[in-house]
C-alpha cells in the first residue's frame, strides 16, 4: 500500500519569526485533513528547531533540505544526520536540482547522502528530473534512469520517497502535464525493487492544479516550493480532494 506524502520545500525563505507566523496560520487548517497522507515541511536549518518545538504533537513532520554523509568532521557549512535527528527531524530532501545545479551535487554525492540519512533513521526524499534541453533532446528517460541507477546503489527502498521534478517546471509556473508526470513516474517505479516507494511530483504545484495531479494513479504526493510559503495555499494543497 503506497503512502501519500505532501512536502513543502521552503528553500532559503523564512526567518524563525516568519516560520512561527506561518505555523499560526497553517496548523488550524489541518483539523479535517484526511489521515491517509503524511505532511512534511522541509525548511532552512535555522527554522528546524522552531518547527520541531511547535509541531510536537501535531501531524506535521519536520524535514531538512540536505544532509552530509559523514557523521562528523572538517566539512565547513555542512550538517550531519545525527545533528538533524537530535532535534526531531524526520525527512530530508537529497539531490534537489538547485543543489545539483548551483552546488556541484553529483549522483555519487547524492547516493552517499541518501545512505547516511537512512543509517540515522531519516527518510530521504530523492529528487530526480530532466532539464528542458534534455527533454527537448529526447533524453528524459535516460537522464532519470542514470540518476536512479547511481543514486539508489545500496539504498534501502523501504525507507525512501522519490520526487520527480522536471527542472523546467520548478519555480516557473510551467507545470508538467499531469498525464506526462504520471507516465514518467510509472517509468521510475518500473526501475524500483520496492513498488511501494511513494513517488511525488514536484514543479509548480499550486492550489489550482493539485487535485488534477493527485488524481493520477501513479502520483503519490507532491513536493511543493513556492506554494508552500503561504499557509492558505499550502493548506489547500495538503487538503487536496
Ligand atoms: C521545489 O522547490 O522543489 C519546487 C517544486 O518548487 P516550485 O513548487 O516552486 O516549482
| Residue 173 confidence (pLDDT) | 84
Fold annotation for 4-238: TIM Barrel (3.20.20)
Ligand 1 pocket test, pick from 63, 105, 203 with the greatest ligand atom count within 8 Å of Cβ, gives: 203
Residue in the block written with cell 511501494: 196
pLDDT in tens, 122-155: 999 999 999 999 999 999 999 999 999 999 999 9
**What percent of the chain stands above pLDDT 90?**
96
Is 101 strand, coil or helix? Answer: helix
Check if the beta carbon of residue 192 is closer than 8 Å to that of residue 157.
yes
pLDDT in tens, 74-95: 999 999 999 999 999 999 999 9
Q: Which are the catalytic amino acids?
A: 96, 165
Q: Which pTM value belongs to this model?
A: 0.97
H/E stretch holding 123: strand 123-128
Shortest CA distance to 223 belongs to which of 27, 41, 54?
A: 41
Report which protein residue has its CA nearest ligand 1's atom 2: 225
| Residue 19 confidence (pLDDT) | 98
| Residue 56 confidence (pLDDT) | 85
- Between the CA of 224 and the centroid of ligand 1 the distance, in Å, is 5
State the Cα–Cα distance between residues 8 and 233, nearest whole angstrom: 11
pLDDT in tens, 112-122: 999 999 999 99
Mean pLDDT on 217-231: 98
Check if the beta carbon of residue 130 is closer than 8 Å to that of residue 95.
no
Report which protein residue has its CA nearest ligand 1's atom 3: 225
| Domains of the chain, residue spans | 4-238
Mean pLDDT on 56-75: 96
| Cα→Cα distances 206→111, 164, 170, Å | 30, 16, 12
pLDDT band at 175 (very low <50, low <70, confident <90, very high): confident
State the Cα–Cα distance between residues 129 and 77, nearest whole angstrom: 26
C-alpha cell at 222: 507532491
C-alpha cell at 107: 549522483
Measured between alpha carbons, how far apart are the two ends of the chain, in Å?
A: 19
Report which protein residue has its CA nearest ligand 1's atom 8: 225
- Between the CA of 60 and the centroid of ligand 1 the distance, in Å, is 19
Ligand 1 neighbours (beta carbon < 6 A): 9, 11, 165, 170-171, 202-205, 223-227
State the Cα–Cα distance between residues 19 and 43, nearest whole angstrom: 9
Query: Among the atoms of ligand 1, which is closest to the Cα of residue 9?
Result: 2
**What percent of the chain stands above pLDDT 70?**
100
| Residue 223 confidence (pLDDT) | 98
Amino acid at each position: 500500500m503506497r503512502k501519500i506524502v505532501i512536502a513543502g520545500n521552503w528553500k532559503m525563505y523564512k526567518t524563525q519569526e516568519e516560520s512561527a507566523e506561518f505555523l499560526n496560520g497553517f496548523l488550524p487548517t489541518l483539523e479535517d485533513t484526511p489521515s491517509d497522507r503524511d505532511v512534511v515541511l522541509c525548511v532552512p536549518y535555522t527554522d528546524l528547531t522552531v518547527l520541531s518545538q511547535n509541531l510536537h504533537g501535531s501531524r506535521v513532520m519536520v524535514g531538512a533540505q540536505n544532509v552530509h554523509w559523514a557523521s562528523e568532521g572538517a566539512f565547513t557549512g555542512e550538517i550531519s544526520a545525527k545533528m538533524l535527528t537530535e532535534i526531531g527531524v524526520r525527512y530530508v530532501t537529497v539531490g534537489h536540482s538547485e543543489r545539483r545545479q548551483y552546488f556541484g551535487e553529483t549522483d555519487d554525492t547524492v547516493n552517499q547522502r541518501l545512505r547516511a540519512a537512512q543509517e540515522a533513521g531519516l527518510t530521504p526524499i530523492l529528487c530526480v528530473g530532466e532539464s528542458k534541453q534534455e527533454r527537448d533532446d529526447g533524453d528524459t528517460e535516460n537522464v532519470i534512469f542514470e540518476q536512479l541507477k547511481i543514486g539508489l546503489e545500496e539504498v534501502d527502498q523501504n525507507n525512501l520517497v522519490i520526487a520527480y521534478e522536471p527542472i523546467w517546471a520548478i519555480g516557473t509556473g510551467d507545470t508538467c502535464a499531469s498525464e506526462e508526470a504520471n507516465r514518467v513516474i510509472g517509468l521510475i517505479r518500473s526501475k524500483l525493487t520496492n513498488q511501494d516507494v511513494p513517488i511525488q511530483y514536484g514543479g509548480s504545484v499550486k492550489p489550482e492544479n493539485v487535485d488534477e495531479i493527485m488524481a493520477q494513479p501513479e502520483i503519490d504526493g507532491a513536493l511543493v516550493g513556492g506554494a508552500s510559503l503561504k499557509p492558505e495555499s499550502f493548506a489547500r494543497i495538503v487538503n487536496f480532494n
